[in-house]
Amino acid sequence: MTSTRSVSASQQQDLLGANAREQAALRRNGIIDRIFEKGTLTLALAVLALLGTIMASLIVAGWPALQELGWSFFTGDRWAANIEHFGALPAIYGTLVTSIIAIIIAVPVSLGIAIFLTELCPVSLRRVLGTMVELLAGVPSIIYGMWGVEVLSPFLREHFPTLFPAGTGLTTAGLILAIMIIPFITAITRDVMVTVPAMMRESAYGMGCTTWEVVRNVIFPSVRGGIVGGVILGLGRALGETMAVTFVIGNNLFLSPTLTGQGTSIAALIANQFPEADGLQRSALLLLGLVLFVITFIVLAIARLMLRRIENRAP
């Protein structure tokens, strides 16, 4: 495309031996191409601008709180709006812990499902199971929240009363998040695994490889990037999930470094308090939103770095 743009019309005639009509057509195509390029560029830049605007408005709105609270915002170990004590640590801790629990549970399960679907599943079942996994990804998060509070948390309370005295808590939220992101990671992993050329697979089998060896040594290395991409997407959803988490996390606003105890996450705290907040509390909540924005950004950046290192290592 760049080459057609860099040559002039007369050169084109020389080069292609085009007559006047063909030349006009060429020129027209060039214009359409350019409009298309500019149009898509604008759309791409609009996303950046939107991202920048959101960030800027969060900074502007959160600035009064940052000025008023300073570092205590990041080091305070409780969020007590009624006495204007805003410490973000409990929420940050809860966000990270629940997301990590979710990823630890979801990744192996998702990979297992994806391997079964692409390598082992009878063809007749493959489409049905695949569609069902995709359907799970489309279930609204409030449904997961309701299920968590009505089914999962009473179950945990009944069967593991010492670990989950109330049924809710950080681990319960992590479990719900895991269930929510499994279909995402599974769907993406399955899609990238399907793209591995059949010939590669067959060659490996032809050399006498077992299914496990094919998956381990042929398929995974060639789709590592895609799988990491799926995990990143799942992690992004887990970090920002609000509705389902609010239902089951326990909403305790003190920092307690436990895994099964009650806690809160940034998104849950904002969802709970924003409608009734004004003044400094509102500003502090918006600042908290900025923190979530930054955390997500950092996590995604780390994931991309990992991805690059994996790709560099790949043969």
Partner 1 sequence: MLKRVAATLLSTSLVLGATSATAAETITGAGATFPYPVYSQWADAYQDKTDIGLNYQAIGSGGGIQQITAKTVTFGASDAPMKPDELKKNHLVQWPQIMGGVVPVVHIEGIDKGALKLDGKTLADIYQGKITRWNDDAIARLNPDLDLPDQQITPVYRAEGSGTNFLFTHYLTQVSEDFANNVGEGKSVAWPSGVGAKANAGVASQVGSTNGAIGYVESAYATENNLNVAQLENKAGNFVTANPDSFKAAAANADWENAPGLYLVLTNQPGDNSWPIVGASFILMHTKVQNADAAKRALDFFDWAYKNGGEAASKLNYIPMPQNVADMVRKEIWSQIKGPNGQQVWQQ
- Least distance (Å) between residue 278 CB and partner 1: 6
Q: Per CB under 8 A, which region of 14-22, 47-55, 61-69, 150-158 contacts partner 1?
A: 150-158
Cβ count within 10 A of residue 50: 10
Comparing CB distances to partner 1, the nearer of 184 and 247 is 247
Cβ contact 289:58 at 8 Å = yes
Largest CA distance in the chain: 86
Q: Per CB under 8 A, which region of 26-34, 96-104, 225-233, 252-260 contacts partner 1?
A: 252-260
* Residue 47 is a binding residue for partner 1 (CB under 8 A): no
Question: What is the per-residue binding string for partner 1 in 155-194, x denoting contact by CB under 8 A?
Answer: --x-------xxxx--------------------------
Beta bridge partners of residue 263, listed in sequence order: 250
Taking the C-alpha atoms of residue 150 and residue 145, their distance in angstroms, rounded to an integer, is: 8
Angle between helical axes of 89-115 and 170-194 (0-180°, round to 10): 40
Residues touching partner 1, count (CB under 8 A): 33
Comparing CB distances to partner 1, the nearer of 12 and 272 is 272
* Residue 95 is a binding residue for partner 1 (CB under 8 A): no
In the list 154, 297, 302, 311, the residue contacting partner 1 (rule: CB under 8 A) is 154
Taking the C-alpha atoms of residue 222 and residue 224, their distance in angstroms, rounded to an integer, is: 6
Cβ contact 232:301 at 8 Å = no
Q: Which residues, 226 to 245, sit near partner 1 by CB under 8 A?
A: none
Comparing CB distances to partner 1, the nearer of 85 and 224 is 85
Cβ contact 98:170 at 8 Å = yes
Comparing CB distances to partner 1, the nearer of 165 and 225 is 165
Taking the C-alpha atoms of residue 241 and residue 25, their distance in angstroms, rounded to an integer, is: 52
Cβ contact 73:86 at 8 Å = yes
In the list 271, 299, 300, 303, the residue contacting partner 1 (rule: CB under 8 A) is 271
* Residue 98 is a binding residue for partner 1 (CB under 8 A): no
End-to-end CA distance of the chain: 31
- Least distance (Å) between residue 299 CB and partner 1: 26
Comparing CB distances to partner 1, the nearer of 22 and 150 is 150
- Sign of the Cα torsion 118, 121, 126, 131 reads negative
Taking the C-alpha atoms of residue 95 and residue 100, their distance in angstroms, rounded to an integer, is: 9
Which residues bind to partner 1, rule: CB under 8 A? 78-83, 85, 149-150, 154, 157, 165-168, 246-247, 250-254, 262, 264, 268, 271-273, 275-278, 281
